[in-house]
Amino acid sequence: MSTPIHCLNYIDGQWQPAQSGETLEDLNPADRREVVATFPRSGAADVEAAVTAARKAYRGWRLVSAPARAEIVFRIGEILRGRKEALAQLMSREMGKTIVEARGDVQEAIDCAFYYAGEGRRLFGQTTPSEMDNKFAMSVRSPVGVCSLITPWNFPVAIPCWKALPALVCGNTVILKPAEDTPACATALIDVFREAGLPAGVANLVHGTGEETGRALVAHPGVDLVSFTGSSVVGAEVASVCGRTHKRVCLEMGGKNAQIVMEDADLELALKGALWGAFGTTGQRCTATSRLILHRDIKQVFTEKLIEQARQLRLGPGIDPNTEVGPLINESQLSRVHEYIEIARQEGLKILLGGEPVRSEELVHGHFFEPTILDEVPPASRLAREEVFGPVVVLMTVDSFEQAVELLNDTPYGLSSSVYTRDVNRAFRAIRDIEAGITYINGPTTGAEVHLPFGGVKQTGNGHREAGAAVLDVFSEWKTVYVDFSGQLQRAQIDNRS
Ligand code: UN1
């Protein structure tokens, strides 16, 4: 066991404790006896200081040219690349994901940095013809202001970068409030930002709980935009506070993602997709596969093989290179997953595999839960509708492609989706008819790439997209500019055309 990392807030270019002096502890999910880090229990006073710093820094940062801002973002990418292994090791220990997944998380952040560094030399606006003579019209992007970025623990380096890097390139200043379960990853990331040369106050870090720090960052009148990734319940609250205080808000929330497997699919491929979509990252991705919609003709053979392969998954600490499935993030998440299995039992659902926390001597001190497969789950079941965020997948049987798509859409969420078929007509119908922000054909529901839009419909989001060029519309305001070079007053909306 190593000594705990003492994380601090980073406000106006200074590392500092919470003004209250209080700290909180962050435990190793693979062994809760180990304190990985301590972090400041920040409150309204710390948020006040961060907002003041970010507002002050905004005055200068918005005037720095976008290519110059992007150059710092490029340097962030370079430093992250140099520190990839160290960050991945830290993440694996702090968050529990396997080391290969942790490397993938950091790589996603690196890709993000290089992508948005390129955006700094584009940030395209538009020129549009004016309806008048001798008049020029265009629309240009301008920054929004101070952005509160509230991020989850499941992608502790990638998601803060998804939000912060495009925000910075667009000329905003940011305050990052990372999840309480991953303060050390956030601290290491902000240290990279600092080293890359961001001026003081441009990127600030305020640790703490959602109740105290998060709430204050959403409600503060000095904040112009809130970007939040987390549960739909908290997201709805964030949205209502932002509505009342007139802030721009971008929400990325839950999913109940389904994979359809048709009778004509490449079954081995579909099987691998299901296995890793459902149990990769211990099911703790908002894109995780939590429903498998199987055509009746292949249901039995597919299910038998899935059980067989899921049974063989090696559970353990993420840091162990032999581990395939790590622990759940914390005790409350472990209880939550366990409660859902209790609900399944009460509903009379059949558990084909798993269903219990792991109680072996080596893993009993961690938050490990057995990969779990539930059979013939009716669409109205809570297990078919609610996001569990753990290694739990439900099976459903269908007789036709149309029925499969209908069932896939029968959910309050709409983030990711997947269809395995060799029929190109079905594939294109799926692309047209599935109600989700992301659809994979012959690939699992996870694995979105950072240069494409990411987000969902229905209760998953609020109409915005992250990642890709789409997120630039979140982090910038359109300004419409008219230049009249006629030397005369040209009055618009005076209709003298007969
Ligand atoms: C999330 O779980 O919140 O598509 C993000 C994926 C990852 C991102 C997931 N690139 O699975």
Rounded to the nearest angstrom, the distance between the alpha carbon of 222 and the centre of ligand 1 is: 30
Q: Check if 232 has its Cβ closer than 6 Å to any atom of ligand 1.
A: no
The reply to whether 391 and 299 lie within a common domain is yes
The reply to whether 300 and 377 lie within a common domain is yes
Test site for ligand 1: of 287, 415, 417, 440, most ligand atoms within 8 A of the Cβ: 287
Rounded to the nearest angstrom, the distance between the alpha carbon of 286 and the centre of ligand 1 is: 6
Question: Is 246 a member of any domain?
Answer: yes
Q: Check if 162 has its Cβ closer than 6 Å to any atom of ligand 1.
A: no
Find the DSSP H helices in 120-252: 158-169, 183-196, 215-219, 232-244
Which CATH number characterizes residue 118's domain? Answer: 3.40.605.10
> 128-170: per-residue pLDDT in tens?
999 999 999 999 999 999 999 999 999 999 999 999 999 999 9
In this prediction, residue 1 carries a pLDDT of 64
Rounded to the nearest angstrom, the distance between the alpha carbon of 471 and the centre of ligand 1 is: 15
Whether ipTM exceeds 0.95: yes
Test site for ligand 1: of 231, 285, 290, most ligand atoms within 8 A of the Cβ: 285
For β-strands 31-40 and 23-28, DSSP reports them as: antiparallel
The reply to whether 153 and 239 lie within a common domain is yes
Nearest residue to 203 (alpha-carbon basis) of 147, 156, 255: 147
The reply to whether 97 and 125 lie within a common domain is yes
Test site for ligand 1: of 103, 446, 465, 471, most ligand atoms within 8 A of the Cβ: 446
Question: Is 42 a member of any domain?
Answer: yes
Q: Which atom of ligand 1 is nearest to the CA of 286?
A: 2
Q: What is the dihedral of CA 380, 386, 390, 396, to 10 degrees?
A: 30
Question: Is 492 a member of any domain?
Answer: no
Question: Is 167 a member of any domain?
Answer: yes
Rounded percentage of the chain residues whose pLDDT exceeds 90:
98
Rounded to the nearest angstrom, the distance between the alpha carbon of 447 and the centre of ligand 1 is: 6
> 76-126: per-residue pLDDT in tens?
999 999 999 999 999 999 999 999 999 999 999 999 999 999 999 999 999
The three-point CA angle 191-80-196 to 5° equals 50
| Regions of the chain where pLDDT drops below 70 | 1, 497-498
Rounded to the nearest angstrom, the distance between the alpha carbon of 357 and the centre of ligand 1 is: 25
Question: Is 350 a member of any domain?
Answer: yes
The reply to whether 24 and 63 lie within a common domain is yes
Q: Which of 392, 412, 441 is the last residue of a domain?
A: 441
Test site for ligand 1: of 155, 157, 234, 257, most ligand atoms within 8 A of the Cβ: 155
Q: Which atom of ligand 1 is nearest to the CA of 152?
A: 3
How far apart are the C-alpha atoms of 275 and 265, rounded to whole Å?
A: 16
How far apart are the C-alpha atoms of 124 and 190, rounded to whole Å?
A: 28
In this prediction, residue 498 carries a pLDDT of 67
Question: Is 488 a member of any domain?
Answer: no
By the 8 A CB rule, do 149 and 167 touch? yes
Q: Check if 182 has its Cβ closer than 6 Å to any atom of ligand 1.
A: no
Nearest residue to 475 (alpha-carbon basis) of 69, 82, 182, 79: 69
Q: Which domain holds residue 333?
A: 257-441
Question: Is 169 a member of any domain?
Answer: yes
Which CATH number characterizes residue 408's domain? Answer: 3.40.309.10
Quickly count: other Cβ atoms within 10 Å of residue 419's Cβ. 28
The reply to whether 210 and 302 lie within a common domain is no
> Which amino acid is present at 225?
L
Full-model pTM: 0.97
Rounded to the nearest angstrom, the distance between the alpha carbon of 103 and the centre of ligand 1 is: 14
Does residue 252 have an active-site annotation? yes
The reply to whether 138 and 84 lie within a common domain is yes
The reply to whether 207 and 347 lie within a common domain is no
The reply to whether 121 and 262 lie within a common domain is no
Q: Check if 287 has its Cβ closer than 6 Å to any atom of ligand 1.
A: yes
Q: Check if 154 has its Cβ closer than 6 Å to any atom of ligand 1.
A: yes
- Residues near 320 by Cβ (< 8 Å), separated by ≥ 6? 99
Q: Check if 418 has its Cβ closer than 6 Å to any atom of ligand 1.
A: no
Nearest residue by C-alpha to atom 6 in ligand 1: 447
- Residues near 337 by Cβ (< 8 Å), separated by ≥ 6? 328, 369, 388, 389, 390, 391, 392
Q: Check if 157 has its Cβ closer than 6 Å to any atom of ligand 1.
A: no
Q: Check if 253 has its Cβ closer than 6 Å to any atom of ligand 1.
A: no
The reply to whether 414 and 467 lie within a common domain is no
Which phi-psi region, left, alpha or beta, contains residue 259 (left: φ > 0; alpha: ψ -120 to 50)?
beta
- Residues near 64 by Cβ (< 8 Å), separated by ≥ 6? 171
The reply to whether 262 and 247 lie within a common domain is no
Q: Check if 153 has its Cβ closer than 6 Å to any atom of ligand 1.
A: no
Task: Extract the tokens encoding 20.
Answer: 């209250």
Nearest residue by C-alpha to atom 3 in ligand 1: 286
Rounded to the nearest angstrom, the distance between the alpha carbon of 251 and the centre of ligand 1 is: 14
Q: Which of 441, 470, 488 is the last residue of a domain?
A: 441
For the chain, what is the domain count? 2
Q: In whole angstroms, how large is the CA radius of gyration of the chain? A: 24
In this prediction, residue 186 carries a pLDDT of 98
Q: Check if 440 has its Cβ closer than 6 Å to any atom of ligand 1.
A: no
The reply to whether 172 and 82 lie within a common domain is yes
**Measured CA distances, 429 to 169, 309, 424, 441 (Å):** 38, 31, 9, 11
Nearest residue to 15 (alpha-carbon basis) of 43, 48, 44, 50: 50
Catalytic option among 71, 101, 180, 252: 252
How far apart are the C-alpha atoms of 409 and 456, rounded to whole Å?
A: 12
Question: Is 496 a member of any domain?
Answer: no
Rounded to the nearest angstrom, the distance between the alpha carbon of 4 and the centre of ligand 1 is: 28
Q: Which atom of ligand 1 is nearest to the CA of 450?
A: 10
Rounded to the nearest angstrom, the distance between the alpha carbon of 449 and the centre of ligand 1 is: 9
In this prediction, residue 492 carries a pLDDT of 86
Rounded to the nearest angstrom, the distance between the alpha carbon of 491 and the centre of ligand 1 is: 51
Test site for ligand 1: of 454, 465, 466, most ligand atoms within 8 A of the Cβ: 454
Q: Check if 446 has its Cβ closer than 6 Å to any atom of ligand 1.
A: yes
Task: Extract the tokens encoding 290.
Answer: 């939590």
